[in-house]
Amino acid sequence: MEIKKGNPENVAPPIAQYHHVTVIPRNAELVVLSGQIGNDKNGVLPLDIETQFSNALENIKSILKSEGIDTNSVFKINIWLTEKMNRDHYVKAWSEFHNQSPPATTLAYVSALARPEIKVEVEAWAAR
């Protein structure tokens, strides 16, 4: 199965690491993850947004692995942040996650998530 990611020439190129459009093959099975927060494997939620972001991405990788797929199968990511994060950390963690093939992505700042201590939530859609 090949997921096609691209940037049409009739719109401006992306302003960050993402693709404007992703096309899923007709025979693909969708794997939809709930929004992942930044707790670690033991359920501990760090105080800083950078570690929460890294943990949320690791949680997504772990869930995908449990389904027999990896981040190359991700075609859509929604990222919600409640505060600014160190840009270098964001770029490094995000680049490592998508392996130079970013999916269609939405990043938004929101005033709050499910609980006050949660600073990050990342939702992923994948196909197999």
pLDDT value of residue 31: 96
pLDDT value of residue 36: 98
Residues 70 and 34: their CA atoms lie apart, in Å, by: 16
Per-residue pLDDT of the chain (128 residues; tens, 9 = 90+): 788 889 999 999 998 888 899 889 899 999 999 999 999 999 999 999 999 999 999 999 999 999 999 999 999 999 999 999 999 999 999 999 999 889 999 999 999 999 999 999 999 999 99
Partner residues linked to 6 by β-bridges: 21
Measured over the CA atoms of residue 78, residue 33, residue 119 and residue 49, the dihedral's sign is negative
CATH for 30-127, options being 3.40.1280.10, 3.30.1330.40, 3.30.1280.10, 3.30.70.1070: 3.30.1330.40
Residue ranges covered by each domain of the chain: 30-127
Identify the residue whose tokens are 């130079």. 100
pLDDT value of residue 83: 98
